[in-house]
Chains A and B, each alone.
Chain A
Amino acid sequence: MSTIPTVEIRNLNKTFGTGDNAVVALDNINLSIYQGEIFGIIGLSGAGKSTLVRCINLLEKPTTGSVLFEGVDITNFTDNQLRKVRQSIGMIFQSFNLLMQRNALDNVCFPLELVGMPRKEAKERAKELLKTVGLADKEKAYPAQLSGGQKQRVAIARALATNPKVLLCDEATSALDPTTTQSILALLKELNKKLGLTIIIITHEMKVIEQICNRVAIIANSRIEEIGTVDEVFRHPKTLAAKKLIFPKGEYVESISSGGKCLRLVFDGSSADRPIIANMVLKCGAPVSIVFANTKNIDGQIFGHMIIKLPDDEEVFRKITTYLEIENITYSEEKDYV
């Protein structure tokens, strides 16, 4: 990581409308994203994440605050200056947004035309890019003839044509089926590794974050509620917003617990082959009920995740937490939402 963030957002606010009709879309956002990162921004619809990503390339003008690209404040750039900057920031969308009257090759040529690259050279480069995204045989196909995944591949090739430093992905996989989503995410990861491309991913799907992001910001009610490495946020979600996103199938504690406390346990690969729960029950001499359990694959690492309900007994609670600490298991007591 270099010391200057590739993208930095400082005290950014965005309000739509004025007076009584004013709607706050973004409230005091601060973010630094570094070169080579895959940074996720996750939130439910209406949280403000799409507005946030549009503020990065200034398709939306922030109401106050500033956006820095490679250390340079671009918030007040003129249109001409902005057009130059935008050539260094690629963007892909949920609905692909390809030019419907141009074939795949000409779609990829489009940004090259904008920078004035000679037609022949542009075609060569476009062909190469289509090969990179695995569509060498679809040069002449029009978007209407391509599947969703293929369209997004063309869009990625197009976004990469001008060698951007950053790729913004606005719900880029939300319109795709799970298998296609996997292949697009794999492609993004490969591009990140091969080109050192910084990728900023906006999504409402935790799966996407778990799979390829290094760090994540959780956005809810127009604010960043939590920010950290994916691993860390997953192990210790601090806010309700984070828990709801990470465990979308969860419930409020009062609905399942009558008196007893709920614990969230997270196991990583190192504890997978030990009978933790069985030993815990034996050693502490207390029955626990398992409310929920599953496994998650975060950035290639397998995590077990379990919610257990303890008997309503302080002594047992103390014993069990001590045991978990000795066994080095990440746990947290959950009071609101599990």
Chain B
Amino acid sequence: MFSEGMLLLVGKGFLETLYMTIVSTVMAYVIGLPVGMLLAVTDKEGIRPSPTINRTVGGIVNVLRSVPFIILLVAVMPITRLITGTSLGSSATVVPLVIAAAPFVARLVESSAKEVDRGVIEASLSMGASTMEVVCKVLLPEAKPSLIVGAAIATTTILSYSAMSGFVGGGGLGNIAINYGYYRSQTDIMLVMVAILVLIVQVIQEIGNFISNKCDKRIR
């Protein structure tokens, strides 16, 4: 079943999947990290409560999160074409992936930031820290272990989304699983693709947990 051509194809698919996942995760964090912090800071229990900002941003996040990814994939095609010039292939998939993942990341970041002990934040304010200093010097470093675990969750979610994009012509392992495994009924190929995806998820999760534990100074 695995001819040399097939092996090359799988290798290419693997790299494409990694490429989509990594680029999308990074970009989702570029957007999601500040948005998540904004949500945590403007919360009514936050250091700068602002119901207007919190509800507006939170509303947008909720709307984007409730659209099923497969619909989002199709719906944002015009935007994808505008940005990448095409709606096919792995680079094109990055656009809907980021749009779907950024709000998810924002919520993950928000929840990590809210885990930081209120007393520590109060202590920082009592020492004269500004809002920005609290975010950069207290919330982010203190939430780091939790943020890293969140990043592992986000990465694996993005990975599985990227596989879904195979349906609409995105690249990667998902595409191979659908084109060869599903449409051509080559169940073995589909299973192998799924197995590789499972393996990647395991590895990412383990790495995430390891780094999180390693950098968490609360332990011992």
A contacts, CB < 8 Å to B: 57, 59, 79, 82-87, 89-91, 93, 95, 97-103, 110-111, 113-115, 142-145, 155, 158-159, 162, 168
Contacts and interface: CB of A to CB of B under 8 A. Distances in A.
A93 B142 contact: no
Bin the interface of chain B by size: 20 to 34
A93 B217 contact: no
B127 A111 contact: yes
27 contacts: A79-B130, A82-B128, A83-B128, A86-B126, A86-B128, A87-B127, A93-B119, A95-B117, A97-B119, A97-B120, A97-B123, A98-B120, A98-B123, A99-B120, A99-B142, A100-B117, A100-B142, A101-B142, A101-B144, A101-B217, A101-B218, A111-B127, A114-B128, A114-B129, A143-B218, A144-B218, A155-B123
B128 A84 contact: yes
Interface string B207-220: 00000000111111
B122 interface: yes
Nearest to A80: B130
Interface stretch (B133-141, B184-192, B195-203): B133-141
A57 B124 CA distance: 12
A89 B126 CA distance: 8
Contacts of A86: 125-128
Contacts of B122: 59, 93, 97
Contacts of B145: 101
A144 B138 contact: no
B183 to A, nearest CB: 50
Contact of B141 (A90, A99, A168): A99
B4 to A, nearest CB: 50
A95 B119 contact: yes
Contacts of A143: 217-218
Nearest to A164: B127
B126 A91 contact: yes
Nearest to A162: B127
A101 B125 CA distance: 18
A102 B128 CA distance: 18
Contacts of B142: 99-101
A100 B217 contact: yes
A59 B125 contact: yes
Nearest to B126: A91
B133 A114 contact: yes
Given A99-B120, A110-B124, A114-B129, 17 more contacts: A83-B129, A86-B126, A90-B126, A91-B123, A95-B119, A98-B120, A100-B117, A100-B217, A101-B142, A101-B215, A102-B217, A110-B137, A114-B128, A142-B217, A143-B217, A158-B127, A162-B128
A250 to B, nearest CB: 34
A89 B127 CA distance: 8
A141 B168 CA distance: 54
Contact of B126 (A57, A84, A101): A57
A173 to B, nearest CB: 16
A110 B215 CA distance: 19
Nearest to B219: A144
A201 B93 CA distance: 60
Interface string B87-128: 000000000000000000000000000000101101111111
A100 B129 contact: no
Nearest to A115: B128
B210 to A, nearest CB: 17
A89 B141 CA distance: 25
Contacts of B144: 101
B125 to A, nearest CB: 6
B138 to A, nearest CB: 7
Contacts of A113: 137
